[in-house]
Structure 1
Amino acid sequence: MKKYLSIWLLGVMAWACAGTAYAEGAIDDAVKRGTLRVGMDPTYMPFEMTNKRGEIIGFEVDVLKAMAKAMGVKLELVSTGLDGIIPALLTGKFDLIGSGLTLTQERNLRINFSEPFIVVGQTLLIRKELADTVKSYKDLNSPDYRLTSKFGTTGELVAKKLIAKAQYHGYDNEPEAVLDVVNGKADAFIYDSPYNVVAMEKLGNGKLVYLDQPFTYEPLAFGLKKGDHDSLNWINNFLHQIREDGTYERIHNKWFKSTTWLKEME
């Protein structure tokens, strides 16, 4: 009997050790390392972008700085193209994704998401000449129109799903796509509302009209590997904390209630 009891106890101890090892997730690793590594494509104003001094700044960057401070670690931003950012996370190149990533069901099959830190929606920048004929995305659903956005974004997905009859040509970055409309080569640019507000002022050159009514619901969240529940718990509690103590409001107002930061981009 003692023999079987000993075997059973060894089995329980092994299971407990395995469970403890499994619980070691991205946040635990970052604390031990002293650095939180975040994958980011720094091209999405005003969430993450590179200023004229070569520094990555933005709303989401400041949220991540507050996160790293709460963990007592340094923040390391790993510049990664959006189209390869999920594979890079899965192969361990960084701890989490913080790149204005929309929580979609397709992406959620591959990775876990935190609670959203902001909700945005797709909006349109159209050629000024179309102001009287195009009032919503539905008016663009014709082969007569040419749409553009950034490859790999929900703007591209929405164009191909909701405005499928129109022609589509994407770009590797947002400014090129916007300038396609400014220069009359495309009729409309589809992208998240916060970016379009900035692009209208920075790139519009008086040749665009902003249709500011979002026509999609897009929660943005941090992405982590599947099964990392301890890290999700910590990040979600962090988001609750900064919303209640005023940190989130301060950061939000800095980037969305003011455009003084645009001077850093010139």
Structure 2
Amino acid sequence: MKRVVTLSALVCLLAVTAAAPSAPAAPGAPAKAPKKHRSLLDAVPERGVLRVCTTGDYRPFTYKDPKDGAYSGVDVDMARDLAKSLDAEPRFVDSTWARLVGDLSAGRCDIAVGGVSITLPRARQVHFSEPTRRDGKTPIVRCEDKDRYWTLEEIDRPGTRVIVNPGGTNEQFARAHIKQATLTVHPDNTTIFDEIVEGRADVMMTDASETRYQAKIRPELCSVHPDEPFTFSEKAYATPRGDEEFLEYVDQFVHLATHDGTYARYESQWMD
């Protein structure tokens, strides 16, 4: 009988102990710090590699040569400088406009560059750096048609053939505004402007910076009011959401490069 009473008392004591709140730490004892997220600002120099997601199809910002796979462009040069500043080498990771944000969010790369426009849907998934430049959607057409496609109303008419590349803000803009004209999605942004030159399409609406560049290398094409585009946008570099330290570093890098002439020098190599 005595053994039963003793065991019952022990069970009660354990139950009370389990239900009681934990005792506070002794005065002066250091609190246990939460585990800190390891920033790319530390990981990239230790790794020695900066992984850069880019589409390689958007000159003058990013271009991958189909012959040798070499990357070039304004933002490619900037990415090389960013890697160097972190004591690392750039490693370019192939992506597409439809996958770019997802590739960055999934950890396939450390930063996404190449004429990336800041949008609110993208900003819900990634951080954006300080902008590199202002931009906006504007038409590019054959020069003989320059006066025919000045407004969205003049473009969105039956018989007009609008062409667009898939997966990015160009397609979003075209689908939002083209209701009567014929809209064709062309899968290759490096050859899409040839479709206009060859007469298989009439208009493409893309960022003014791209229309200026394409009009420069294709004299048959003209950019329509690039100084007064249909929309306002800004281009920037995308970094992983949650890594504030890395974002602040990229912000400082962009700020310096856009104010000391570095970015302007890279851009002039393509545009002038």
Q: Please indicate the TM-score interval, normalised by the length of the shorter structure.
A: 0.7 to 0.9
In structure 2, the residue corresponding to 1:133 is in which secondary structure?
A: coil
Tell me which amino acid in the other structure corresponds to 1:42.
Answer: G
Distance 1:215 1:177 in 2: 21
Given the two structures, how large is their TM-score scaled by the length of structure 2?
Answer: 0.82
Distance 1:26 1:164 in 2: 45
Tell me which amino acid in the other structure corresponds to 1:35.
Answer: V
The match for 2:32 among 13, 22, 28 is: 13
1:37 maps onto 2:44 in alignment: no
The 4+ residue runs of structure 1 with deviation greater than 6 A are none
Indicate the residue corresponding to 1:97 in structure 2: 112
C-alpha deviations, 1:45-87, integer Å up to 9, x for none?
1111124643101100111111112112111111112211222
C-alpha deviations, 1:117-167, integer Å up to 9, x for none?
122221212244533432223311223322111101211111111333322
In structure 1, the residue corresponding to 2:98 is in which secondary structure?
A: helix
In structure 1, the residue corresponding to 2:99 is in which secondary structure?
A: helix
**Would the alpha carbon gap of residues 243 and 196 (structure 1) be closer, same or farther in structure 2, given more than 3 Å must change?**
closer
Q: Which moved more, 1:108-117 or 1:247-256?
A: 247-256
In structure 1, the residue corresponding to 2:130 is in which secondary structure?
A: coil
Aligned length: 248
Indicate the residue corresponding to 2:81 in structure 1: 66
Q: Which moved more, 1:234-243 or 1:245-254?
A: 245-254
Given the two structures, how large is their TM-score scaled by the length of structure 1?
Answer: 0.84
Indicate the residue corresponding to 2:133 in structure 1: 118
For the 8 Å contact 1:45–1:194, the answer to whether it is kept is: no
Distance 1:209 1:254 in 2: 20
CA RMSD in angstroms, aligned pairs only: 2.3
Distance 2:152 2:75 in 1: 28
The match for 1:209 among 222, 240, 244 is: 222
**Would the alpha carbon gap of residues 184 and 253 (structure 1) be closer, same or farther in structure 2, given more than 3 Å must change?**
closer
Distance 1:65 1:233 in 2: 18
**Would the alpha carbon gap of residues 58 and 131 (structure 1) be closer, same or farther in structure 2, given more than 3 Å must change?**
closer
Equivalent positions of 1:19-168 (< 5 A) are 21-22=36-37, 24-51=38-65, 53-168=68-183
Indicate the residue corresponding to 1:264 in structure 2: none
Distance 1:67 1:27 in 2: 11
**Would the alpha carbon gap of residues 211 and 86 (structure 1) be closer, same or farther in structure 2, given more than 3 Å must change?**
same
1:176 maps onto 2:191 in alignment: yes
1:248 maps onto 2:263 in alignment: yes
Distance 1:116 1:231 in 2: 16
Indicate the residue corresponding to 2:12 in structure 1: none
Tell me which amino acid in the other structure corresponds to 1:199.
Answer: Q
Indicate the residue corresponding to 2:7 in structure 1: none
For the 8 Å contact 1:134–1:140, the answer to whether it is kept is: yes
Structure 1: where are the runs of 5+ without partners?
259-266
Tell me which amino acid in the other structure corresponds to 2:25.
Answer: L
Q: Which moved more, 1:128-137 or 1:158-167?
A: 128-137
Distance 1:47 1:253 in 2: 12
- The sequence identity of aligned pairs, in percent, is 25
Distance 1:244 1:140 in 2: 38
Distance 1:100 1:245 in 2: 20
In structure 2, the residue corresponding to 1:5 is in which secondary structure?
A: coil
Structure 2: where are the runs of 5+ without partners?
1-22
For the 8 Å contact 1:101–1:220, the answer to whether it is kept is: yes
C-alpha deviations, 1:222-242, integer Å up to 9, x for none?
112221111111111111222
